[in-house]
Structure 1
Amino acid sequence: MVLIGVLIACALVLLTFPVFLVQWSLYIAQSGSGKIPRGRWWFIPWLGESLHFFYKSPDQFFRERYARFGEIYRTHILGSPTIITSTPEHAKFILATKHKSFKAIYPPSIDRVLNHPSWEGAFHQRIRKIVQSSMLSETIRDSIPKFESLCRWCLEDWNEREFVVTHDETRKFAFHVALSITCSMAPCEESMRLLDSYGILSNGAISMPINFPGTGFHLAIKVRFHFRSEILTDLTSLVKRRKSDTATTYSDILGSLLASKDDQGTKFTDDEIRDILITFLFAGHETTAVFLVWIVKYLTEHPDILEQVRDEQDQIRSAREHPESPLTWSEIKNMPVSLRVVQESLRLANVAPFSPREVVEDVEHDGVLFPKGWKVQVYYRHFHLNPTYFKDPHKFDPSRFLTPPKPGIYTPFGNGIRLCPGSEVVKLEALIFIHLLVTNYNWKIVGGDCGVQYWPTPRPKGGLHLKVWKRSD
């Protein structure tokens, strides 16, 4: 036993000594030049401060370091030395001005669970152009009846249940909107199977990447081959069906991918198309679903604002010749109160609070050195909850958007060339959801406030249980 203890101690010394040398060199460099941001020491290779980052509130993690080190500091999370920046100025520099020096990346857990591809340069621009063309206002306005039909399908029996788990239902809505945009797939057995597979993988895709029994990451790794295989099988079948259907013209992302050619006339391979579809379906529904849950929670907690929204939506409905007629684009554009609720919910919920990057070459800016190979996290949540930029930042106050915020401080969809191309679709989904919810139902939260679950995305813990009844009841 003594020998085993000695061997373990020696192993720990051997593992941590190189890290100590690295950190000491950083300390010396900082003392001499002051260019590397200050931060805490880390003594365990790979792990660093990851446990604190994942298993306590991220708000607490960043608040403690911000108070000690200021708006930019270093840490070691997710296996890499990382610089956290919390200023709009640095965000603009990293994501826009000098974006070629900061490569867009995904957390290691997403890479391992989803086998996520990294798209750069002309290949990324080609994909982005296709996706953006499917998200333009003139394109999505034609999809309003389809999106409204999907929302009605998800809401139709809420009043008949003992209680509703809001997140389960908003996932179903957001996922089928993403399927509609991607491949024109309507709700069916195949779509529900895809939704279930994504649900299992998503819970481990954004998590502490420790492959140990009992963790969400371990479960996701364990089942990823089975469920990723199911997803690939379904999408392969979809691509084959679409390629054989030459008589129909499809105005969706899959149709554009199949038709696209690069400058040399080369088309996407089937494997590339499947990877693009997998990525888009993951990115296109998870955060939107959580965002819709927050809207319900905020409206429930602020009955005065809910009443303003309901008055607005009732007026829209009563102005129609037939109250049950589908929403129109002009009605969507005439929802200023509801739109401010959407904007404020995006600011306060911060369902996508980070923008991770990898430094591809040494970069200096404003006296700060970003060393090659390090990771950078642009922390949007700090902008949105900073009293310098937003008065009473933790208060839900949609009226603050009566005056547009200054450029660069309101970034719910990111910034720079990687700005989320689906921002208008997300807002459209939210306005349709709000309209149908408040004009048809009353509700209350059951089970009390269970707190916040921060991973894989910040959400009300438990998914927000509601008791729902018809307004006419």
Structure 2
Amino acid sequence: MQVLTLVPVLALLLALAFIKLLKPKTARPNLPPGSFGWPVIGESLEFLRCQRGGHPEKFVRDRMSRYNSPIFKTSLLGERMAVLCGPAGNKFLFSNEGKKVALWWPSSVGKLMGRCLVSKAGDEARLDKKMLMSFFNPEALMRSVGVIDEFTKDHLRTQWEGKDRLEAYSTLKQHTFSLACRLFMSITDPQIVSRLADHFHVFLRGVVGLPLDVPGTSFYQSKKAANSIRKELRVLVKWRRTELERKTASPSQDIMSHLIANGDENGKLMPEAEIINNMLNLLFAGHDTSTSTLVLIIKYLSELPHVLEKVIAEQREIAASKARGELLQWGDLQKMRYSWNAILEVMRMTAPIYGSFREALVDFTYEGYTIPKGWKLHWSACSTHTDRNYHPRTLTFDESRFEGSGPAPYTYVPFGGGPRMCLGLEFARAELLVFFHNLVIGFHWSLVNPDEKIIYDPMPIPVKGLPIRLRPRD
């Protein structure tokens, strides 16, 4: 009896096996070499450890060597990811924006930033960027150079003069954030600026990382700070809207007014929540990388007196051409060629961002390997900038790399590239050069801790705040 009952079961199993043999086999994708690491956390801990150790390029460089490949797979921040290395990888990702790939940020960024330019794609992102570009193009910045110069002179007069020592990082962070509030929102009230700055200090700690919304975690604290920032910005937006209605403010006076008063190509106004999110994003992007770069300029130039002397000579020549009390103008920045080359080399030696992320919109093939749709992609500025194949004597500071046509395309990418290139590039250039001019004209400085370590968190920062000794320059 038992044998009889087994016959139908065996027959069914044989039939299923036969069907499986006849079914065409689906080819497994030829994935890049690499490892997904530990369950859930993948290789995130080592990725973050390299950043905190001050060598984010090490994560990429070690795997390029291990797998002998310009592309490898990994798992970071809870996502399966392919890392495309070097200029070829940069070119592929930048030139395929909106075709094969789209901008992607870790879920922590999306949850904290909300719906804004960095979280949009396609036509929506293009329209937002077009609205913002009216304040970041050279024509608009020509009108802002004098404001930046006056603001910088006031900062140095009140925060630097008369001091024989200060902590450069925190002091510069205050300056760049206050300047962003002034230029982006016309906010000069020190109490408002201070409250926003305090919230941003907490907010930045959890922007890039694991989105663990649990009390005590960086993300939890960052989320609370973001809510506080939005509360402050909501009051400012309502206040500005009233000013615009009463015509006591101009739609063209700053970015916030422009976003409130102007619609897109179809005349549709931006929702208030998106205005607030975009302002949060701009305040974040508009001061943090600038702070890091200014600190690194101070650090590197203190160690390179031969470079600093050439910078001083160039800046003194420009200062001598100005009447007493006359502010810098756009044309003066164009004369700061050597100074700008020195800044570019600072950003090559220590990139202001370690890289960025994309998402595969379709299955595609790269270097003979299949990248499945939905996979995340990463490009690394740090590893490209320190690759001796593209930058000989990579550990040597050499500002002459940027003379003439400069580095080969896609080998130098501190501001990204393609349609997603940083829209604040020209603003950053003006801000950095104006500060650099006033700093070297007015002060001598030296490092208190010459061997102070720089880590990425997520931007490059000095672990002790870069304390410096000061004295006025004759």
TM-score (norm 1): 0.87
Residue 190 (structure 1) shift: 1.2
Equivalent residue for 2:32? 37
Distance, in Å, in 2 between the alignment partners of 1:187 and 1:345 is 33
Deviation at 1:87, TM superposition (A): 2.3
Closer, same or farther: CA 100–233 of 1 in aligned 2, 3 Å: same
- State the distance in 1 between where 2:132 and 2:266 align: 21
Any residues of structure 2 matched to 1:305-324 within 5 Å, and which?
305-322=307-324, 324=325
**Alpha-carbon separation, structure 2, partners of 1:164 and 1:209:** 35
Partner of 1:393: 394
Structure 2 unpaired stretches of 5+: 1-24
Q: CA deviation at 1:247?
A: 4.4
Question: Letter of the aligned partner of 1:76 in structure 2?
Answer: S
Q: Which of 438, 462, 465 is the aligned partner of 2:464?
A: 462
* Residues 348-382 of structure 1: per-residue CA shift (max 9 Å, x gap): 22111212111122122331222111110011222
- 2 CA distance for matches of 1:306 and 1:459? 22
Tell me the distance in 2 between the aligned counterparts of 1:276 and 1:174.
18
Once the two structures are superposed, the pairs formed by residues 340-355 of structure 1 within 5 Å of their partners are: 340-355=341-356
Specify whether residues 238 and 291 from structure 1 end up closer, same or farther in structure 2 by C-alpha distance, changes over 3 A only.
farther
Judge conservation of contact 2:354–2:380 (CA < 8 Å) in 1.
Answer: yes
Shift of 1:218: 4.2
**Are 1:48 and 2:42 counterparts?**
yes
- 8 Å Cα contact 1:207/1:456 also seen in 2: no
Q: Which residue, 59, 62, 65 being the options, matches 2:60?
A: 62
Q: Which residue of 2 aligns with 1:20?
A: none
Distance apart, 1:223 and its partner CA: 4.4
1:260 shift after superposition: 2.6
CA contact (8 A) 2:345 2:398 kept: yes
Q: C-alpha distance in 2, partners of 1:247/1:193?
A: 25
Structure 1 position 367 matched with structure 2 position 349: no
Paired residue for 2:9? none
Letter paired with 2:357: P
Letter in structure 1 aligned against 2:166: V
Alignment CA distance shift 1:98-1:318 (3 Å): closer
Letter in 2 for 1:302: L
Give the whole-Å Cα distance in 2 for the aligned partners of 1:99 and 1:211: 31
Instruction: Measure the CA separation in 1 of the matches of 2:171 and 2:152.
Output: 9
* Partners of 1:290 and 1:457 within 8 A in 2: yes
SS of the residue corresponding to residue 377 of structure 2 reads strand
Indicate the residue corresponding to 1:356 in structure 2: 357
1:16 corresponding residue in structure 2: none
**CA-CA distance at 1:112 after TM superposition:** 3.2
SS in 1 for 2:136: coil
Give yes or no for contact 1:158–1:469 (8 Å, CA) kept in 2. Answer: no
Aligned to 1:19: none
Q: Which residue of 2 aligns with 1:303?
A: 305
**Selected match of 2:285 from 278, 283, 297:** 283
- 2:455 counterpart residue number: 453
Once the two structures are superposed, residues 126-185 of structure 1 have per-residue CA deviations (whole angstroms, 9 ceiling, x without a partner) of 111121121121211111111012212322231433532212222222223322332222
> For residues 167 and 237 of structure 1, what CA distance do their matches in structure 2 show?
33
Deviation at 1:33, TM superposition (A): 7.2
Supply the AA of the counterpart residue of 1:54.
L
In the alignment of these two chains, the number of paired residues is 440
Contact 2:90 2:379 in 1 (8 A): yes
- Residue type of the alignment partner of 1:95: F
Counterparts of 1:214 and 1:124, CA distance in 2: 34
Contact 1:154–1:169, Cα closer than 8 Å, also in 2: no
* Counterpart contact for 2:115–2:274, Cα < 8 Å: no
Equivalent-residue separation in structure 2 for 1:221 and 1:250 (angstroms): 31
Pairing of 1:438-449 with structure 2 (within 5 A): 438-449=440-451
The aligned amino acid for 1:60 is K
CA shift digits 1:174-215 (9 cap, x unpaired): 223322332222353212221221121012213444556665
User: In the alignment, what sits opposite 1:173?
Assistant: 175
Native 8 Å contact 1:95 1:415 kept in 2: yes
Are the structure 2 counterparts of residues 217 and 270 from structure 1 closer, same or farther at C-alpha, using a change threshold of 3 Å? closer
Aligned residue for 1:119? 120
Contact 1:93 1:99 in 2 (8 A): no
Is the contact made by 2:211 and 2:219 (CA closer than 8 Å) also made in structure 1? yes
Q: Letter of the aligned partner of 1:108 in structure 2?
A: S
How far apart are the structure 2 equivalents of 1:127 and 1:136? Answer: 14
8 Å contact kept, 2:234–2:276 = no
Structure 1 residue 325 displacement after superposition: 2.3
Alignment match, 2:130: 129
Structure 1 residues 62 and 213, CA gap change in structure 2 (3 angstroms): farther
Q: Identify which range, 101-110 or 239-248, moves more after superposition.
A: 239-248
> Conserved in 1, the CA contact under 8 Å of 2:342 and 2:399?
yes
Aligned identity (percent) is 28
CA shift in 2, pair 1:125/1:245, >3 Å:
farther
Q: CA deviation at 1:263?
A: 4.5
Distance change (3 Å), C-alpha of 1:236 and 1:452: same
Give, as a single letter, the amino acid of the residue that structure 1 aligns with 2:31. Answer: I
Summarize the Cα distance change of 1:318–1:236 in structure 2 as closer, same or farther, 3 Å threshold: closer
- Aligned residue type for 2:314: E
Distance 1:238 1:355, change over 3 A: farther
Structure 2 distance, partners of 1:277, 1:220, is 17
- Look up the match of 1:9: none
Equivalent pair of 2:359/2:375 in contact (CA under 8 Å):
yes
AA partner of residue 394 (structure 2): P
Query: In structure 1, how many angstroms separate the alpha carbons of the residues matched to 2:108 and 2:29?
Result: 33
Shift of 1:222: 5.0
Within 5 Å, give how 1:129-208 maps onto structure 2.
129-156=130-157, 157-161=159-163, 163-186=165-188, 188-208=190-210
| Aligned residue number for residue 87 of structure 2 | 88
Higher CA-based Rg = 2
The amino acid across from 1:112 in the alignment is K
| RMSD of Structure 2 on Structure 1 (CA) | 2.3
Structure 2 residue identity aligned to 1:395: T
Q: Report the residue type matching 1:185 in the other structure.
A: I
Matched, 1:110 2:109: yes
What is the alpha-carbon distance in structure 2 between the residues aligned to residue 361 and residue 78 of structure 1? 21
Specify whether residues 393 and 235 from structure 1 end up closer, same or farther in structure 2 by C-alpha distance, changes over 3 A only. farther
